[in-house]
Chains A and B, each alone.
Chain A
Amino acid sequence: MRFDYDTSYLDAKRLLRYPAQKLAYAALAILLLAAPWLLPKYYVGELTYLFIMAIASLGLMVLSGYTGQVSLGHAAFLAVGAYAHAWLLSQGAPWLLSIALATAISALVGLLLGLPAIRVSGLYLAMVTLAFAILIEHVLGRWKSVTGGFNGLPVGDPVILGANLSGLKSFYFLALISLVLTVAVLINLMRGKTGRAFVGVRDSEAAAASLGIWVAGYKVLAFVISAAVCGFAGALLAHHVRHITPEGFNLLLSLELVLMVTIGGLGSLRGAILGAFLIGMVPALISQIKPLLGDRIAKQFGLEIFFFGLILAIFVLFEPKGLNGRWLKVKAFFDTFPLYRKDVFRRGKTYMKSERYR
């Protein structure tokens, strides 16, 4: 068991407080930096993809996990970011400008959706965002002059200040740096005034309002931040897939993102990344076990979606706090070693209370 003994305000502000944390994160950093040389090529590409999905999952986490606004349609923002970036690149915009503009455009779309969407909450918001994602997919399919319709749009190479980063290793590092930057920005945003306001809005709008928090404003802000981060991820994803089509940003991707934040554990950035890694790895893992199954089952696409469902169901039923919750439990077990009791995290018995009359 560890008791914090702070001697200055700076102690409480530090992100890595203990030597063990510093060591663990340093080891992780070294592993990630060395990974492109240690792993086979296929896995480097997979890891790059996981980094990008982790960024998107972080974006959704700001909205769903911190502000409590359910969105079942976040693939729409990835799509907007990806298409804006690809189109700007094809018009000859430099990469840094293009990705900044793509992020900004996605944020703008987030604002446009957020302004009306905050009028509804809960299930209704889930339905609005779901419908919005389907609309965006159709718009991208029909707006042929810009998006190339269902044939899709080729994506230019990422060239930053004259250096072409489309190679496997260089793009890996680009994605890694992007992820680290996103985490750094969000971690500070979420422990600052903005993030605390988000959590306040999530836990009780009435209480937040009575504390002087502008509830509507912060809800829209959460939408904007979330859309911007997802747009950024979308732009990177465009480079990863090299040729974007509207089907690449379908409902399944939206739901995968929701799976990532739910399985990761709502309300934690670590959870968003863990969830993205778990869900992002499922297709690759399934292609590994496919040879073990019968031919008839193995060639169906249904296996993947079945496992998504199974994993999600297991987490909702047995670990509603997600991977992050499990991580905290394991940590508590070792921190308090001989004293850990099973009931520390026990859930109470619950009855259904109507949310309709709330």
Chain B
Amino acid sequence: MPPEIIANLQLALNGMATGAIYALVALGLVITYKATEVLNFAHGDVLMASAFVAWGLIVGLGLPFWLAALLTVAFAAVLSWQIDARIMRRIVGQPQFAGVMLTIAIAFMLRGLVSMFFGPESRSYPTPWTQQSTHIGPVVVSDLNLVILAVALLLTALIYVFLRRTALGVSIQAASQNQLAAYLSGIRVKRVTSLVWALAGAVSGACGLLLAPIALVDISLWIVVLKALAALVLGGFGSIPGAILGGLLLGLIEQFAGVYLPDGSKDVAAYVVLIATLVLWPRGLLGEAHGRRV
């Protein structure tokens, strides 16, 4: 195989791994959005907090990775459950803007708390896959990237099946489309909503756990939520397969923009994609078309 094709394949695989993270974060955003119509800007900060908690458990307390991973995901789930049950529930029915502002407020508080509690330094922790790599034909992939890809695809499939095929998943959809009607048909809307938040939190906890070994445990980890927004929009806002597709594509776009386009375009690629998609093609790749009722 010619070397430039190998180099491109290498780039593509790295891009897919980053993209898988974006996809997972986008997945967490989209399930909360579908269930509660709230775009959770605090999602990235739950992720960031979980990365710090994972660091505290692995390096600080010396727990084995798997136990720490389990505890971290549980932490993120409980945190998100509490955010919904104690805070977000109070503003149900208010305009969408209130939800945006409240999640931004929660994001700020989380960021402030983490920074006060842990301090601003960057840090890292070991995983079972650190420093290992696998050869697929001529291409070398780090095991961490493979694990990230696998986890992303697995979680997506699980959540997709859960929402489409199980009674609980269907009641989540019902609650998201018409809360009052869902109440009247016997769905425990409050609990269902909190459950969705906990699910999204668990996903973001897993993301934090996986992202931290690639990108260091740092306060600025929350920025991934902005990239995930771009991925969501690209894939079609409100669509779960779209979130995954958009995430993977965005990872690829970033990776290739970094190599083939002028210096600095890697940093802005996601935002250019976001604006261009929304302005030129607001439906995105797999978005559902919605008419506007007057």
Contacts and interface: CB of A to CB of B under 8 A. Distances in A.
A90 to B, nearest CB: 24
A309 B104 CA distance: 7
A53 to B, nearest CB: 18
Contacts of A300: 115-116, 119-120
B177 A354 contact: yes
Contacts of B294: 206
Contacts of A141: 264
Interface in A277-327: 296-297, 300-310, 312-313, 316-317, 320
B105 A312 contact: yes
A309 B105 contact: yes
A305 B119 CA distance: 14
Contacts of B64: none
Contact of A303 (B97, B116, B290): B116
Contacts of A303: 112, 116
Interface string A343-358: 0000001111111111
B39 interface: yes
Interface stretch (A5-13, A121-129, A189-197, A233-241): A121-129
Given A305-B112, A313-B109, A134 B37 contact: no
B151 interface: no
Interface stretch (B7-15, B163-171, B200-208, B272-280): B272-280
Interface string B68-91: 000000000000000000010011
A42 to B, nearest CB: 25
A127 B229 contact: yes
A46 to B, nearest CB: 22
B98 to A, nearest CB: 6
Contacts of B115: 300-302, 305
B202 to A, nearest CB: 23
A131 B97 contact: no
A310 B270 CA distance: 30
A135 B233 CA distance: 17
Contact of A305 (B96, B108, B229): B108
Contacts of A312: 101-102, 104-105, 108
Contacts of A255: 104, 108
B100 A354 contact: no
Interface string B224-242: 0010011001000110000
A135 B275 contact: yes
B105 A132 contact: no
A89 interface: no
B155 interface: no
Contacts of A105: none
A133 B196 CA distance: 31
A119 B279 contact: yes
Contacts of B230: 131
Given A127-B229, A320-B98, A120 B180 contact: no
A302 B274 contact: no
A54 interface: no
B279 A126 contact: no
Interface residues of A, number: 51
Interface residues of B, number: 59
Contacts, number: 155
A311 to B, nearest CB: 8
A306 B116 CA distance: 9
B112 A302 contact: yes
Nearest to A294: B116
Contacts of B36: 352
Interface in B103-122: 104-116, 119-120
A117 B279 CA distance: 7
A66 B32 CA distance: 29
Contact of B37 (A120, A206, A301, A354): A354
B226 A353 contact: no
Contacts of B255: none
B292 A131 contact: no
A70 B271 contact: no
Contacts of A306: 108-109, 111-113, 116
Contacts of A131: 226, 230, 270-272, 274-275
Interface string A100-138: 000000000000000011011011101110111011001
Given A351-B179, A354-B37, A354-B178, A316 B93 contact: no
Contacts of A352: 36-37, 92-93, 179
A312 B102 CA distance: 7
B218 to A, nearest CB: 13
Interface of B: 36-37, 39, 87, 90-94, 96-98, 100-102, 104-116, 119-120, 176-180, 183, 226, 229-230, 233, 237-238, 263-264, 267-268, 270-272, 274-275, 278-279, 282, 290-294
Closest 5 CB pairs of A and B: A306-B112, A350-B93, A309-B108, A302-B115, A309-B109
Given A124-B237, A310-B108, A320-B94, 5 more contacts: A116-B275, A127-B278, A255-B104, A300-B115, A358-B292
